[in-house]
Amino acid sequence: MSDYYATLGVSRDASTEEIKRAYRKLARQHHPDVAGAEAGETFKDIAAAHDVLSNPEKRRRYDMGGSGTNGGMGGGANFGFSDIFETFFQAAAGGGAQRGPTPRSRRGQDALIRMDIDLAEAAFGVSRDIQVDTAVVCTTCQGTCCRPGTAPRTCAVCGGRGSVQRVVRSFLGQVMTTAACAACGGFGSLISDPCPECSGEGRVRTRRTVKVNVPAGVDEGTRIKLSGQGEVGPGGGRPGDLYIEIREKRHALFARRGDDLHCTTELPMTAVALGTVLTLETLDGEKDIDIRPGTQPDEVVTLRGFGIGHLNGGGRGDLHVHVGVTIPSKLDEDQERLLRELAALRGEERPEAWLSPATPGVFSRLRDKFAGR
């Protein structure tokens, strides 16, 4: 086998950059598309030399084997034990060759965008058009990557196989190895006249409109999958999927817990003592709520079916109204007199205090208070 340094025309102490420059110059001169099919073997030798000398580890092993002549252990191709076993395993598996050339057309990547919705849209669902910036098939070449009227040419080096074989020597004998063709990149064909619109990619980026149907019941972080609406792949390959991640805006009145809604209303102590009718603005419009006489602080009035729609089934969650009682901090003379009269009528001028077991809710409220919630 040839001396790789001599093949590239560089000295043995040439830098990696010098080796790359020499390779690019020789590859342009001896490429079969330029110099003809008869230059194929020369081009293979140039590619093999560059493959070894441009890799520091391969170059070190090569230098340890001698000058690169046919003498010594395998001439220009030198192997450590790991290389030998790897090579033999490749040969046993068919030379490590791929089955046919690599397709230019490949599946595109998935895309992810975020959509902000309000609580009502989460409760009832919504249909919305969104703008998406993704890669689409190039309309000029229709994904062929070639200028219209042209087509890829079969690679003269690998004959369209996408891979090349070469015989290397080791102290165990000759071994046939297979690698992707350096001339065509493993595609088996060359595009000498790429599409001017997409520069040979077969796809271009553009902004398009996609319709998204958001079902009722989605929550923060829910992802909606739109199959085939993602990035078109290289070479006009089939598109990936588009995922819409939901971000729910915080509501001014209602707090969401699963599919249920919670809110708090503050009522005067006279209203909860005597009972009243409260008009509440819900997601479905105004709703009258009966507050029964004697309602206690922190009692909950539940409106069935006024919450969030269930994502995977019919029906809706509930709306829980937590009743708060406002105690007046200042009273005028008439108000104070009337309250004292009421206290006398109820025998509550000097009420006796008593203790009762604390409920779990008491401890949770104390914890929230000291935690600053």
The helix/strand/coil state of 313 is coil
> Among residues 44, 199, 194, 184, which one has the least CA distance to residue 103?
184
The pLDDT value given to residue 88: 46
Per-residue pLDDT tens digits for 124-179: 999 999 999 999 999 999 999 999 999 999 999 999 999 998 877 665 566 778 88
Cβ-count burial 51-80 (b if 16+ within 10 Å, e if not): ebbeeeebbebbbebbebeeeeebbbbbbe
Range with lowest mean pLDDT among 68-82, 90-104, 178-192, 340-354: 68-82
Class for the domain spanning 255-370: mainly beta
Say which residues have a Cβ less than 8 Å from residue 53's Cβ, sequence separation at least 6: 4, 5, 8, 10, 14, 19, 59, 62
- Confidence grade of residue 358 (pLDDT, cut at 50, 70, 90): low
Contact status, residue 78 vs residue 61, Cβ threshold 8 Å: yes
- Confidence grade of residue 68 (pLDDT, cut at 50, 70, 90): very low
The pLDDT value given to residue 312: 82
Position 305: which residue type? G
Cα–Cα distances (Å) from 90 to 93, 103, 178, in that order, read 5, 22, 8
- Name the more confident of 80 and 173: 173
Query: Is the confidence at residue 22, as pLDDT, over 60?
Result: yes
Contact status, residue 4 vs residue 45, Cβ threshold 8 Å: no
Contact status, residue 210 vs residue 226, Cβ threshold 8 Å: yes
The pLDDT value given to residue 51: 86
CA angle 89, 94, 99 (to 5 degrees): 130
User: Out of 1.10.287.110, 2.60.40.1220, 3.30.2130.30, 1.25.40.10, which CATH number does the structure's domain 1-78 have?
Assistant: 1.10.287.110
92-95 contacts at long range (C-beta below 8 A, 24 or more positions apart): 94/178, 95/165, 95/176, 95/177, 95/178
Query: Is the confidence at residue 264, as pLDDT, over 80?
Result: yes
Rounded Cα–Cα distance for residues 189 and 170 (Å) = 32
The pLDDT value given to residue 273: 92
The answer, as to whether pTM is greater than 0.75, is no
Query: Is the confidence at residue 76, as pLDDT, over 60?
Result: no
- Confidence grade of residue 29 (pLDDT, cut at 50, 70, 90): confident
Rounded Cα–Cα distance for residues 327 and 333 (Å) = 17
Contact status, residue 233 vs residue 102, Cβ threshold 8 Å: no
Encoded tokens for 84: 């030998």
- Confidence grade of residue 17 (pLDDT, cut at 50, 70, 90): confident
Contact status, residue 188 vs residue 37, Cβ threshold 8 Å: no
Encoded tokens for 245: 């991640």
Ranges for all domains in the chain classified under CATH 2.60.260.20: 111-147+193-248, 255-370
- Segment 53-80 shows an average pLDDT of 59
The pLDDT value given to residue 314: 84
Cβ-count burial 298-315 (b if 16+ within 10 Å, e if not): eeebebeebbbbeeeeee
Class for the domain spanning 111-147+193-248: mainly beta
- Segment 62-81 shows an average pLDDT of 45
Rounded Cα–Cα distance for residues 365 and 241 (Å) = 46
Ranges for all domains in the chain classified under CATH 1.10.287.110: 1-78
- Confidence grade of residue 94 (pLDDT, cut at 50, 70, 90): very low
Range with lowest mean pLDDT among 119-128, 237-246, 341-350, 352-361: 352-361
Cα–Cα distances (Å) from 332 to 10, 270, 273, in that order, read 105, 16, 20
To the nearest whole percent, how much of the chain has pLDDT over 90? 55
Say which residues have a Cβ less than 8 Å from residue 98's Cβ, sequence separation at least 6: 162, 163, 180, 186
Rounded Cα–Cα distance for residues 83 and 92 (Å) = 14
φ, ψ dihedrals at 34, nearest 5°:
-100, -50
